[in-house]
Every structure is written in C-alpha cells, then in structure tokens.
Structure 1
Amino acid sequence: MPHAIYVTTAEATDRSSAVKMVENAKANLSEVKNILVDAGYTGENFATQIKAIIGATVEVIKRSELHTFVVLPKRWVVERSFAWLEKCRRLWKNCERKLNTSLQMIVLSFISLCYEDFKQVLKSKLQLFLQSKFS
C-alpha cells in the first residue's frame, strides 16, 4: 500500500503535484528518509521543498544514457506498483468525471491487492497447520 496517493488534472505538473501530495500526507510520511524519483523530478528546488516539508532526501534514478537495457536499482519498486494496478480494468483508461472517484478506485485497487496477498498467506498457513496437525 502506498504511503500517499494524489490525483490531479492533466494540466498540473508532476513536480508541483508531488510537493502538494507530500504536504497533504505529511503525517503519514514522518518516518520516510529517502524518496526515489525518476528523471522527471530533477531540480534543486524540488529536492529542497521535499527536504523542508518532511526532511527526506530525494534520490533521482536516471535511465542509462546508452540505448541498451540496463536494470536500474530500486526503480522496479515503483514500476511494480504501476504494473499491479494495470490488472484493474477501471484503471486502464481514466473515464471518471471526478478526481475523488479516480482516487477511490486507486485505493480500492490497492486494498484488493492486499486482500489477495492476505488470502495467499492465510491459505499457506492453514495448509501448514493442517499438515502438522494430521501428519
């Protein structure tokens, strides 16, 4: 589950929206020490604003200058979360009329993912319990 989610209109820039998200979720982000971002968030001003709000450092994960495939450290964490959301049909294409509806669909999708993980863990624990009880 993400620490913070913020949905904006298309005209808002990613950097300014990220700063607003951090401001809004300040209480949830009090333990965060490092924020991983892609090259779209470069700039001293962005890093300074984040540092001033929650005291975290901003680490930019840049793509390789070479046009070859290179596994970038830590970038997979963010990409994995977006890939999980692609399983949710309502998020393939944003047809919602209100930003709050889009936000709630994202939250519900993450809750659904957590529930599926919980079911798998519970199922494996139950199998281990039954094996130990009846073996």
Structure 2
Amino acid sequence: MRGKKMWGRKRHALVDSAGSLLAIKVTGAQCSDLQGGQALLQPLQERFPRMQTVWGDSHYGGQMILWLKLHLGWSMQTVKHFKVPKRGILVPEGEEVDWDKLVPQGFQPLPKRWVVERSFAWITRWRRLCRDHEGLPASSEAFIMLSASLRMLIRLAPPSPL
C-alpha cells in the first residue's frame, strides 16, 4: 500500500443478543476469518461455560464449524446472504409464484447479523474508533473495550434528569 503507514485491520467480535460486546480481537487484514475467529473464541471457553451456539456470518462457515465442535463443543449457525439469480428462476408451467416472497425487494436485514452490525455502529460513534489510529492491535482492542464498557455503564445507569 503506497504511502500508507497503517495496513488494514479486521475486527472479530463476540456480542450477546442485546448487542453488548463480550470479546474483541483485532487482527491484520492478511489474517483469515478462520484464524481470527479461533483467536477470538479459544480463550473464551472457560469464561462462558454455558454457551452452546455461536451465530456467525457465512465467512465463518466450513472449517470454523468443525473446529468449534471439536475443540470447544459449541455448535455454529451461519447467516446466509440472499442472492438474486442472474439468469432467472425456473418455474414449472401452470404453477403460481409469489414473487414478493421469492425475491425480496429493498433492504432486508439478515437475521442475527444486524446485532453485530449495530454493535459496530455503537463502537464507531466514538471519534477515536471511527478510524484506526492505533499502531498496535492490542491498543485498538483496549479502546474498543473501553467504549463498550462505557456503553454498558450508560445502559445500566442512565443519566439522571436534573
């Protein structure tokens, strides 16, 4: 990357169903999703013993599902993207088709994925985290955890109206 002093980063996050950040792992862009997911989830087995199912994007499928089952004993559900076929859809002659159900129109939020995207939106509202100013991934993780901690504090004890 010409002239850039900072290479790309990937943020791998584990959030609960309410969107609260449980763990974060910042890796370089050259790191695969499998490696980042393993680095994120491996130390969490002792912290979350009751966890059974992890939801993830389709990039975390395949080998990640097998690794989770073998090493941590967790199952993984992946969220698949809807892709409109390029050549059309084969429909038997005389059969009625509800095109609104078959091909959704407009913006369709993917189930479970919007929870993580909402958490990333809350994190990037912090001026320091909207860009990656940190030199080390560990310092990026620390600032992300700080912003998530303050977000949880505000949700627990909202400011009192004076």
Into which bin does the TM-score normalised by the smaller protein fall? 0.7 to 0.9
* 2:40 partner SS: helix
Q: Deviations over 1:64-110 (max 9, x none)?
A: 11384223222221111111112111111112111211010010010
Shifted more, 31-40 versus 64-73: the winner is 64-73
Tell me how far apart the structure 2 counterparts of residues 76 and 99 of structure 1 sit (CA, whole Å).
Answer: 25
Does the CA contact (< 8 Å) of 1:38 and 1:60 recur in 2?
yes
Classify 1:54/1:2 alpha carbon distance in 2 versus 1 (closer, same or farther; 3 Å).
farther
Tell me how far apart the structure 1 counterparts of residues 37 and 48 of structure 2 sit (CA, whole Å).
Answer: 13
Identity of aligned residues (%): 28
| Cα shift at 1:5 | 1.5
Whichever of the two has the greater Rg, that structure is 2
* 2:22 partner SS: coil
Partner amino acid, structure 1, of 2:66: T
Report the TM-score when normalising by structure 1.
0.80
- What is the match of residue 9 of structure 2? none
Tell me how far apart the structure 2 counterparts of residues 33 and 123 of structure 1 sit (CA, whole Å).
Answer: 38
| Cα shift at 1:62 | 1.1
- What is the match of residue 129 of structure 1? none
2:71 to 37, 53, 71: 53
Structure 2 residue 120 is the aligned partner of structure 1 residue 82:
yes
Tell me how far apart the structure 2 counterparts of residues 20 and 100 of structure 1 sit (CA, whole Å).
Answer: 13
- What is the match of residue 128 of structure 1? none
Equivalent residues in 2 for 1:1-135, closer than 5 Å: 1-43=20-62, 45-66=63-84, 68=105, 69-120=107-158, 123=160
Does the CA contact (< 8 Å) of 1:7 and 1:99 recur in 2?
yes
Tell me how far apart the structure 2 counterparts of residues 16 and 29 of structure 1 sit (CA, whole Å).
Answer: 20
| Cα shift at 1:111 | 0.7
| Cα shift at 1:39 | 1.5
More strand by share: 2
More helix by share: 1
- What is the match of residue 132 of structure 1? none
Structure 2, unaligned runs of 5 or more: 1-19, 85-103
Tell me how far apart the structure 1 counterparts of residues 113 and 36 of structure 2 sit (CA, whole Å).
Answer: 20
Report the TM-score when normalising by structure 2.
0.68
Query: Which runs of 4 or more aligned residues in structure 1 lie more than 3 Å from their structure 2 counterparts after TM superposition?
Result: none
